[in-house]
Amino acid sequence: MSRQYPSAPIISVSVLCHADEKALLIKRGKPPYKDHWSLPGGKVELGETLTEAAARELREETGLTGNLNGPVDIFDSIQRDEAGRVETHFVLAVFMAERPEGVLSAGDDATAAEWVRLDQLDKRPSTPGTAARIRRLLD
């Protein structure tokens, strides 16, 4: 199913990795929100559990692995075009990973991956609600 103008909502996951007052963000390499910073994540594949998808996406986009907790948040991301048609509709389940392990390296459709101090979240373009979600979940 196409991500743009889908026939149904697309089930997706993201992972909030945190350590030492920092959150792990990836820079998106594809639309929607290309070149914006976001939590690592992506679509759930057929036959895959939410937790399996979160672990896979974390590994593919950052090279890291970790114990996942959650989902800790579930939300809709719906964007409409100028005519009011649904251009994208993702249902996202957010997982948490404290101090993931491995060597950080951007991969898959992430063009960069960085640990970002919580007080610096608003200084870079990010997907809608990302900075507020990180602060709320880590509060």
Give tens-digit pLDDT for 51-76: 999 999 999 999 999 999 999 999 99
- What pLDDT is recorded for position 45? 97
Q: Which span out of 27-36, 48-57, 102-111 was modeled with the highest average pLDDT?
A: 48-57
Asked whether residue 32 carries a pLDDT value surpassing 80, the answer given is no
How far is the C-alpha of 95 from the C-alpha of 109, rounded, in Å? 19
Backbone angles phi, psi at 42, to 5 degrees: 175, -165
Contact 55, 13 (CB under 8 A): no
Residue count (the chain) = 139
Map tokens 């759930």 to a residue: 44
Domain that holds residue 25: 10-138
Q: How many domains does the chain have?
A: 1
Q: What amino acid occupies position 43?
A: K
Residue 34 within any structural domain of the chain: yes
Q: Report the CATH number that the domain containing residue 88 is assigned in CATH.
A: 3.90.79.10
The closest alpha carbon to 28, from 10, 41, 16, 18, belongs to 41
- What pLDDT is recorded for position 30? 87
- What pLDDT is recorded for position 17? 97
- What pLDDT is recorded for position 33? 86
Token pair, residue 107, equals 């991969």
